[in-house]
Structure 1
Amino acid sequence: MTAITADTVGEVLARTRFGEGGLLPAIIQQEGTKDVLMLGYMDAEALRRTLTEGRVTFWSRSRQEYWRKGDTSGNRQFVRGAALDCDGDALLVTVVQHGPACHTGAHSCFDVDSLEPQLGEADD
């Protein structure tokens, strides 16, 4: 597989199904450990930047602006891989994370509020 370039990113954008408000949910996963670090949202431009610049770029729904993890905190994410899901409406980005991923200082945004659901029984 060849790397996505500025010339070929349009092909990816054409098969991406952006949802409400033109946004795509992006799951960020740590390379190696496969820890799920966070969930962010990307519009077409944020996806283009992420795929071609090597740093994860999001669209901030609250601030209505682009942001890259770590530009102010130093806790940066460097892209190691990316994949659309089978429907093209969600993105998985594998990263090397420098510092905590969560704005609370936790390693993962999912370390902050662990729930205790009823566990299901697997049929063997």
Structure 2
Amino acid sequence: MRPGPDDGGHHRATDRTRRPRLRHLQRGVPVPLSLDPAGHRDYRITFARSERLNLNWTPESGPILNFAEKHRLKLPSGCRVGQCESCAVRILSGQVHHLNGQEPEDPGVCLTCQAVPVSDLRLDI
């Protein structure tokens, strides 16, 4: 492969600074899992600092980020596939499941672009 302007003049196979980025792009496709691993259940989500209390989430609502946006809440986000972690939010109470199958290292945090509730949920946002 010829070096080009997008790879800093280096072959991609030998440019170690590019490898994580390329892996990110390859793994950036969300894994198609069930939206509700606990069965068809509705849950209440509270966005504590936004004072949006007990909003009704259903499996059709999708990930928490999409659900929040439908309720006109602006949450931080970036890649929307769980890789950049810009959508990380502290869980005050409740539990979530991450659709991409990768749980954050901190169990008290969820990635709203990939997380769906598996219980009533209270988030620090």
**Highest Rg: 1 or 2?**
2
Q: Whose strand fraction is larger, Structure 1's or Structure 2's? A: 1
Specify the TM-score bucket, using the shorter chain as the normaliser.
Answer: 0.3 to 0.5
Q: Give the structure-1-normalised TM-score.
A: 0.35
Q: Give the structure-2-normalised TM-score.
A: 0.34
Which protein has greater RCO, CA pairs closer than 8 Å, 6+ apart?
Answer: 2
